[in-house]
Structure 1
Amino acid sequence: AGFGSQVCTTVYEAARDEVGRFLGVRPDDTVVFTRNTTDAVNLLAHCVAHAVGPSARVVVLDLEHHANLLPWSALRRTVVATRPTAQETLDALAAALCAEPTALLAVTGASNVTGERLPLARLADLAHEAGARLFVDAAQLAPHRPIDLAGLGIDYLALSGHKLYAPFGAGALLGRRDWLDVAPPYLAGGGAVREVTLTSVDWADAPARHEAGTPNLPGVAALAAACRALAALPVGALAAHDEELKGRLVRGLADLPGVRVLSLWPDAGPDPAPAAGAPVTDSGPVGVVTFTLTGHHPDAAAYLAAERGISLRAGRFCAHPLLHRLGAPAGALRASVGVGSTAADVDELLDALRSYLTRGPGWRYLPGPGGWVPTPDDRLLPDWAAAVPTAPTPAASPCDT
């Protein structure tokens, strides 16, 4: 009843509309706010199990992030091996979908390792022709390309706010409401009900059915603000910026000794520039570049962060089967370009890597509980984090560098 509460409700529901518009939902779709993409995929798996049945067949590729691989194991999951080309991979998916009745085709919108992607409109057609629905893990795609659920024929989509420059802790599951309305609540609690007695419960419809408890209002509002900011960019500007910087980085890496850029398909080239009034294509790789440094120490990411102020992701990126397939089971380095990245940023990374490969790091590094760190590490925590305990300096080991 309080005005402040009414303001909060207005902001929360307006955010739902904003996120839905940003992703092109259909009028009868629903938007459920979650913690992140992983939470959203698990919610959908829960709903599929109840709406279709625990024996529902779900087809996935072996290139998926763990968030789009593990939740389906509670159902009847069929994993299709990635083929040498994108077209052969599409053909393999089509064959798998037609092999036996399938409830869902679950794919990544863009690989979180290589940035490569399959055409979503074609995947939707394949799924629908086989009587299945299409789910897209858009965590890596949404920051790099516009998405139109209705136009592409996507049935369900999940994303994380932090990939869109919002804070951690807010994500969304969007799509058709029938499966979400049939399944019992993902979490049982306040806000998910119409009426409760000591012997019965009348659950609300989605999205409230799956949003029990106090919502993350600041996170949801920030997610909507990020969607609004990205939607305000000129048409085609995001993709053009993305492809220009990715190309600059890949060309620069090709000139460095011992660097191997990881990729899946030779036929997953950049999106062609659309003609006036033509739809945006949906098959070119996004601005994610993962590479290995042959014969070099795994402290490279720590060197880039500590000595050059450059943050790259290092490891296996929650995609262990794919890293094995790409011949990098021990891990790799991943650089991601974004709306704030510049050509100077790319050149700085290339210069830092060139220095590392030719002269090595300037500091000494040791493995610690959270990864490789310089020793001694004289970097100071900011005042606001001063109360956070720091990890002890690791002891020397035979793999010192």
Structure 2
Amino acid sequence: MLEDLSRPGFWQACEEQVVEARRLFARLIGADVDQVAVLPNASVAAHQAASGRRWRRRRDILTTAAEFPGIAHTWLNQPGARVRWVGSPGGAVRTGDYLSQITRRTGLVSVPAVTYRDAIRLDVARIADAAHDAGAAVFVDAYQAAGVMPLNVESLRCDYLVTGAGKYLLGLPGLAFLYVRHPDGPAPTLTGWLGRTDPHAMRATVLDSPPHARRYETGTPAAAAVYAAVAGLSVIGGLDLGQVRHHTQRLIAATAQRLAAQGEVVRLAGHVGAQGAHLALVEPHADVMAAWLGHRGVIAAPRSGVLRLAMHAYTTDADIDAACEAVAAYRCRARTRREGLR
């Protein structure tokens, strides 16, 4: 990116990177390139998917408290829509919770492919079949799935799918991808110069929309995030994600067993097929623990009472050893401090 930036015509080079990022992501999920829009984040993508819809007879949006807040907040902000929650208020959710709540009043079913906190993997295809039978569309947040397990939109049978270029796709924050099964539908309410049929015509007086997913795009993307997305997707696209899935599940099983032996409480799905690529270590002060571990080279994410430990394609057994040893050291330090205060 810096090399391109130092030469004339940087924007043209950046546009070529956007085209390549769109192509690589489409290939990753088994979509056509014209079904993919490049957007700044998943919240904007969710808005684009919902904003053109009319919430009249089918005004219910079915989602879960386990949904990432940025997605759920977008649904709550849809004028005329009514959000209905499945699963427990604390975020426990299973595939059957969705199946029992889909009705003829449901207009949109929002399903996280893997829940962001507890790493529960839901049966998206089964939920999508039930939703379509009732006449509802299906939105999938694949942020916790893309890059560590095979994803194919035809197999998932979803109408929309979103993920960010960061996390398992090895890119940076500031870029997201939105898949739209039928991109020639109603235009979204949020738009920008890149959402036009010919953006470079620069016609301020004309508001047209192309028949492909680029109608969902808005303004100039973050250049660094675009270049990083191409680099990350190039790596991920060269992997066998079935093998990556097997690798991460083996590491999660080993990590959970070791942490349990250390006296930790971890949250796991009921069976290995329903587990995402991270595990949740129960810790009321997860932010404090994450900061302490981070200073010792173990990067973990605190999320409302749990510490997320994520397994990537590149994670090794030595990484797991280091993480478990660091958790044990943190607990030892905490016990020593408590005893010193007595």
Fold conserved between structures, TM > 0.5: yes
Cross-structure match for 1:347? 321
Choose the corresponding residue for 1:244, options 242, 250, 255: 250
Mapped partners of 1:213, 1:28: distance in 2: 19
| Superposition TM-score, scaled by structure 2 size | 0.83
Partner of 2:145: 141
Structure (1/2) with the larger helix percentage: 2
Look up the match of 1:370.
Answer: none
Unaligned 5+ segments in structure 2 are 1-7
Provide Cα deviations, 1:209-230, integer angstroms capped at 9, x if missing partner.
3323323344234323322311
The structure 1 residue matched to 2:43, chosen from 38, 42, 57, is 38
Structure 1 unaligned regions, length at least 5: 272-283, 317-330, 364-399
Shift in Å at residue 162 of structure 1? 0.9
- Name the CA shift for 1:293/1:206 in 2 (closer, same or farther; >3 Å): same
Q: How many residues align?
A: 326
Q: Residue 288 in 1 paired to residue 293 in 2?
A: no
Matched residue SS, 1:172: strand
CA contact (8 A) 1:160 1:170 kept: yes
**Does the Cα contact within 8 Å between 2:58 and 2:106 map onto a contact in 1?**
no
Alpha-carbon distance change, 13 to 362 in structure 1, aligned in 2, over 3 angstroms:
farther
Q: Is the 8 A contact 1:12 1:220 kept in 2?
A: yes
TM-score in terms of structure 1 length: 0.72
Give, in angstroms, the shift of residue 128 of structure 1: 1.3
Of 214, 217, 231, which residue of structure 1 is paired with 2:220?
214
Kindly indicate whether the alpha-carbon contact (under 8 Å) linking 1:110 and 1:138 is maintained by their aligned counterparts in 2. Answer: yes
Instruction: Tell which structure's C-alpha radius of gyration is larger.
Output: 1
Match for residue 299 of structure 1 among 276, 284, 288:
288
CA pair 129-353 structure 1, distance change in 2 beyond 3 A: same
CA contact (8 A) 2:35 2:179 kept: yes
The equivalent residue for 1:21 is: 27
Question: What are the Cα deviations for residues 342-398 of structure 1, in whole angstroms up to 9, with x where unaligned?
Answer: 1111111111222222343899xxxxxxxxxxxxxxxxxxxxxxxxxxxxxxxxxxx
Name the CA shift for 1:244/1:38 in 2 (closer, same or farther; >3 Å). Answer: same
Partner-residue secondary structure (3-state), 2:178: strand
Pick one of 272, 277, 281 that aligns with 1:270. 272
Deviations for 1:238-258, whole angstroms, at most 9, x for unmatched residues?
A: 01110111111100111123x
Once the two structures are TM-superposed, the CA of residue 14 in structure 1 deviates from its matched residue by 2.9
Residue deviations 1:60-102, cap 9 Å, x none? 1222111221111122211112499x9x94333223113x322
- Match in the other structure for 1:336: 310
Structure 1, residues 261-311: CA drift from partner, whole Å, max 9, x if none?
Answer: 124x53xx113xxxxxxxxxxxx31221111247x89632222122x2212
AA of the residue aligned to 1:15: A
Corresponding residue number in structure 2 for 1:95: 100
Given the alignment, which residue of 218, 229, 237 partners 1:223?
Answer: 229
- Which amino acid is 2:177 matched to? A
1:255 corresponds in structure 2 to 261
Residues 1:104 and 2:140 aligned together:
no
1:166-217 per-residue CA deviation (whole Å, 9 max, x = no partner) reads 0121111112234x64124413446535588787633444433332332334
